[in-house]
Structure 1
Amino acid sequence: MKPLRLDSLDVLAAIIRHGGFRAAAAERGVSSTALSQTIRALEDGLGIRLLNRTTRSVAPTEAGARLLERLVPALQEIRTAIDELDGLRERPSGTLRINAPGPAVDHVLCPLAFEFMEIHPEVRVEIMSDAAIVDIVAQGFDAGVRFGQQLDQDMVAVPLGPPLRYAIVAAPSYLRRNGEPGSPQDLVGHACIRRRFPGGTLARWKFERGGEAVEIVPSGRLTLSSAHQELGAALAGQGIAHLLEDYVRPSLAEGSLVEILRDWSQDLPGWFLYYPSRRHPSAAMRAFLDLVAARRVRPPGPGPLSPGQRPM
């Protein structure tokens, strides 16, 4: 049997439904001759007559009637599936999946997602917190969030805010007991709250001032695995923590933490939302990008990145 075109089956159903070629052709905006040629090719491909034609009428053969009996529900299912795709294209619905590191989830994505879900109640949002670099396409994510310099060049990147900054902080009670370090090298003698990543490596603390770069492996008795845990430990006076400024800003404002070595603080590129292509994003993804553009997260600090800036 020759390969069949799906539209030829739809033509057959239309001709039988209208009882003739002329009305079916008018519905589809083509000539009766074109439909006749389509049916002839369909019958040749199947090797069986489907319609009995006279100058006055058209009726299905037994084979045509049996095929139509099975065909109509199938064609309706296809139309329903296409209508659902049209809905996804035109109206924000379905599921939006985003992969991002914990800090980006806490301070950027969750606030955006909460607002987005209020505006678009038909969209489900799934945010996966993951510090590892993942293939968002292979793992079924619509988008991801990473630092600018961590992105592949074939990704479309949208800035989510200004550059980030790490802060070295400790509770006043800890500094009263142990003194305040005057340089990054002095941290070696202090109780630093260490971070171990899921892969097993320990986070290194990086500093920069006046072109001089310093990197240390912090020492201390306490090792944790999340920024929230480290913040709690610092507030409890357990040692010195190395955290993104977003986590400690309220505690610094109320005085429960003190920032040290501020002149050694190193700025980092801001967060970028990235996705694989500008072509044919879902309506939900387009709506989320619109919200990002309208509600760019701008915490206190250096000025925001210019719209459309590419990652480093």
Structure 2
Amino acid sequence: MHRSGLIELEVVMAVMRLGSFRAAAQALNMSPTAVSNAIAGLESRLNVRLFHRTTRSVALTEAGDRFVTRVGPALREIQQAADEIHSLPAAPSGTLRINIPQAVGQLFLDGIVVRFLARYPLMRLEIASETRMIDIVAEGYDAGIRLGESVPQDMIAVPLTPDIRMQVVATPEWFATHGTPQTPDDLYQHQGICMRMANGGIYRWEMSRHGQHYALAIPPRLATSDFFTSLTAVRAGLGVGFLPGFYIEEDLRAGRLVSVLDEWTQPFQGLCLYYPGHRHIPEGLRAFIDFVRES
């Protein structure tokens, strides 16, 4: 009933309009005591009497008349705004701002964004892709996407992909010419298509098996911050890449690429959509979260 959240002002206007505490209580679905307490509390804070009260009638004081003359139009505007909010279309609408890793932009666009916007034509998306890890709340984003291990602990995370396993891949022609690695150390004899991190360093290829651990600094023939650029370079036969499995599934099935040393790469938690858990979730974000879970 009291959607504006300004119950004391609504009580004053109801008593003024109906001329009775009891009638105002019935109209507002409140008890007479609650109405009386609301009026008394407001008068106490304003340090002024708003109503003359007798056993037979209630009437505005001069100060009360001035007060409702000023407050009445503003309260009607607030009530109208509340009514408009509640009458918004059921379909999600508005703008959703999401921050994503630069390396997954195309995957995100193809796999989720196009289908989400097709389902919800009233929604708009603003997507910023970058390598650095940011505070999505401080920088004005509704949600972010990062590897599960990188999601801040005070955020709610929704899995976006299965666990990820990195794979060492190249074209069949590359391995035929340069030899097929049998151990991680053999990769130093190859030229790498490597990823440059947000801090400027080159990502080391992390591999392990039976208690043996490697963080390989493969000599880069090409360094990029975009997995799709790396994949293009590997397909072109420029070197060996270290790429997430879901990027290269089709290439492996088609025989365009070959994966080696698979027993040395271990899965880790995949990408997650994350968002603040301490605030009201807008309808657009709720629709997007549900869509990700469904997908």
Residue 247 (structure 1) aligned with residue 262 (structure 2):
no
Letter aligned with residue 204 of structure 2: R
Distance 2:44 2:267 in 1: 71
The correspondence of residues 278-297 of structure 1 with structure 2, limited to 5 A, is: 280-295=280-295
Shift of 1:269: 2.0
CA pair 148-48 structure 1, distance change in 2 beyond 3 A: closer
Pairing of 1:164-183 with structure 2 (within 5 A): 164-183=164-183
Q: Under a length normalisation based on structure 2, what TM-score does the superposition of the two structures give?
A: 0.79
Measured at CA, do residues 92 and 165 of structure 1 come closer, stay the same or move farther in structure 2, by a change above 3 Å?
same
Shift of 1:170: 1.8
- Partner Cα distance (1:83, 1:100) in 2: 36
2:150 alignment counterpart = 150
Q: Residue 191 of structure 2 aligns to a residue in which SS?
A: coil
Report the alpha carbon displacement of residue 233 of structure 1 after superposing the two structures with TM: 1.4
Alpha-carbon spacing, 1:69–1:273, altered in 2? closer, same or farther (3 Å): same
Match runs of 1:229-308 below 5 Å: 229-277=229-277, 280-295=280-295
Matched residue of 2:220: which SS? Answer: coil
**Distance apart, 1:51 and its partner CA:** 4.3
- Which residue pairs with 2:8 in the alignment? 8
The residue aligned with 2:138 is 138
Q: Shift of residue 106 of structure 1?
A: 3.9
The answer to whether the 8 A contact 2:170-2:257 is kept is: yes
Which amino acid is 2:255 matched to?
G
Partner of 2:18: 18
Cα separation, 2, equivalents of 1:75 and 1:110:
47
User: Considering only aligned residues, what root-mean-square deviation do their CA atoms show, in Å?
Assistant: 3.4
1:224 aligned partner, one-letter code: T
Q: Which residue identity lines up with residue 216 of structure 2 in the other structure?
A: I
Q: Is this contact kept in 2: 1:142–1:285, CA < 8 A?
A: yes
Which AA in structure 2 matches 1:258? V
Instruction: Give 1:244 shift.
Output: 1.1
- Counterparts of 1:115 and 1:188, CA distance in 2: 42
The Cα shift of 1:13 comes to 1.6
- Give the Cα–Cα distance (whole angstroms) in 1 for the partners of residues 127 and 24 of structure 2: 49
Q: What is the aligned length?
A: 290
Instruction: Return closer, same or farther for 1:144/1:258 CA change in 2, 3 Å cut-off.
Output: same
TM-score by length of 1: 0.75
| 1:33-81 Cα shifts (integer Å, max 9, x gaps) | 6545544554454344544667776554554444323312321333345
